[in-house]
């Protein structure tokens, strides 16, 4: 990675909100959403490939996740081999971008957060940072390769077709075409209710869930949040939806410690070679520290989860 202090760092671009109208059909709603998603992805591709601003990779990852969330909704009601292919290509690109993002978080957030171990005499940064740098550089090289690939170009073209009003290029049955004219508000309410139920089901017995199970709750909440952000203007523009979205985001964020521990544990296994005694000590100290922090945040996560469960939905 280049030294950011010696370069002009390009700006990244965050996603604009999706503005839907009450009388939108599913077809028109998809056009509006796809335009926002494509603009978000296209604006951040050169930033991610440039590599000097870590926010570029993060925003590309978010854009791909949001597209996959939209594709997941559509694939349930309107099966399409082309849409399946688009979701598969987006997933492949997301894996490459996700690896680079994980190393960015590890180096820029996780390691600084382990400073209490340094004060206790554990040389975490001195041992792990030199090992992490080449792994992150390799991940960024794969990002540039992936985002310059035919898969990325194909996906952008597909998203452009969605944004131009063509859902996919397969022949569709009259019933399928008619279904695309369903009111978007009905489509949204049905899927938001399904995702909400799924998240609540994942979180049942929250206090007894294991860290991997809580991680699954977080993933369910993430899908629910993306769908809510797509369709919120259909049901609750302005302040009406505020409490639900705030508590949904707070519950998701509170579960972040589980994700951090799982991701960090996976990254620690990437440090090759036969570890010496000091390295084993460092890895053991990091693992123990993160697990203790995970336990310490469990009550806060449970509290945020209970608040979310009690919050009325905005689409009823």
* pLDDT for the residue numbered 5: 41
* pLDDT for the residue numbered 298: 87
Buried b (16+ CB within 10 A) or exposed e, 58-89: bbbbbbbbbbbbbbbbbeeebebeebeebbeb
Burial of 181 (0-12, 13-18, 19+ CB in 10 A): exposed
Q: 94-98, 258-262, 310-314: which has the minimum mean pLDDT?
A: 258-262
* pLDDT for the residue numbered 1: 43
Distance CA 57, CA 49 (A): 8
Distance CA 2, CA 140 (A): 11
pLDDT tens column, 52-96 = 999 999 999 999 999 999 999 998 888 888 899 999 999 999 999
Question: Which of residues 12 and 228 earns the better pLDDT score?
Answer: 228
pTM of the model: 0.91
pLDDT tens column, 101-114 = 999 999 999 999 99
pLDDT tens column, 178-216 = 778 899 999 999 999 999 999 999 999 999 998 889 999
Q: Check residue 182 and report its DSSP letter.
A: S
pLDDT at 97 over 80: yes
Distance CA 94, CA 226 (A): 16
8 A C-beta contact, residue 232 and residue 245? yes
Could you tell me what percent of the chain has a pLDDT over 70? 93
Per the rule left: phi > 0, alpha: psi between -120 and 50, beta: everything else, 79 is beta
Neighbours of 218 (CB within 10 A): 21
pLDDT band of 294, cuts 50, 70, 90? confident
Q: Which two tokens stand for residue 108?
A: 């820029």
Q: Which two tokens stand for residue 255?
A: 């579960």
8 A C-beta contact, residue 256 and residue 301? no
Neighbours of 226 (CB within 10 A): 20
Backbone angles phi, psi at 209, to 5 degrees: -70, 145
Apex 61 CA angle, 135 and 265, nearest 5: 45
* pLDDT for the residue numbered 314: 93
Kindly give, in sequence order, each residue whose CB lies less than 8 Å from that of residue 186, ignoring residues fewer than 6 positions away.
none
């Amino acid at each position: 990675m280049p030294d950011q202090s010696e370069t002009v760092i390009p700006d990244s671009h965050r996603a604009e909100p999706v503005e839907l109208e009450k009388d939108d059909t599913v077809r028109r709603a998809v056009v509006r959403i796809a335009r926002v998603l494509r603009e978000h992805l296209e604006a951040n591709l050169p930033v991610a490939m440039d590599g000097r601003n870590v926010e570029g990779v993060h925003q590309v990852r978010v854009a791909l996740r949001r597209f996959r969330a939209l594709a997941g909704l559509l694939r349930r009601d309107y099966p399409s081999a082309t849409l399946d292919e688009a979701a598969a290509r987006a997933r492949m690109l997301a894996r490459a971008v996700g690896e680079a993002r994980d190393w960015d978080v590890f180096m820029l957030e996780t390691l600084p957060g382990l400073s209490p171990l340094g004060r206790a005499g554990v040389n975490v940064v001195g041992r792990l940072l030199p090992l992490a740098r080449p792994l992150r550089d390799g991940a960024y090289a794969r990002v540039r390769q992936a985002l310059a690939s035919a898969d990325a170009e194909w996906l952008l073209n597909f998203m452009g077709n969605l944004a131009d009003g063509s859902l996919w290029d397969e022949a569709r049955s009259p019933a399928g075409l008619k279904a695309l004219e369903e009111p978007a508000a009905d489509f949204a309410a049905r899927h938001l209710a399904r995702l909400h139920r799924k998240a609540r089901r994942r979180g049942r017995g929250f206090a007894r869930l294991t860290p991997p199970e809580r991680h699954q709750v977080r993933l369910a909440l993430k899908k629910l949040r993306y769908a809510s952000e797509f369709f919120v203007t259909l049901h609750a523009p302005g302040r009406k939806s505020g409490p639900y979205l705030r508590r949904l985001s707070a519950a998701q964020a509170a579960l972040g410690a589980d994700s951090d521990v799982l991701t960090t544990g996976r990254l620690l296994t990437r440090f090759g070679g036969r570890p010496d005694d000091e390295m084993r000590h460092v890895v053991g100290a990091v693992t123990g520290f993160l697990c203790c922090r995970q336990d310490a945040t469990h009550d806060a996560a449970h509290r945020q989860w209970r608040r979310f469960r009690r919050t009325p939905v905005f689409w009823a």
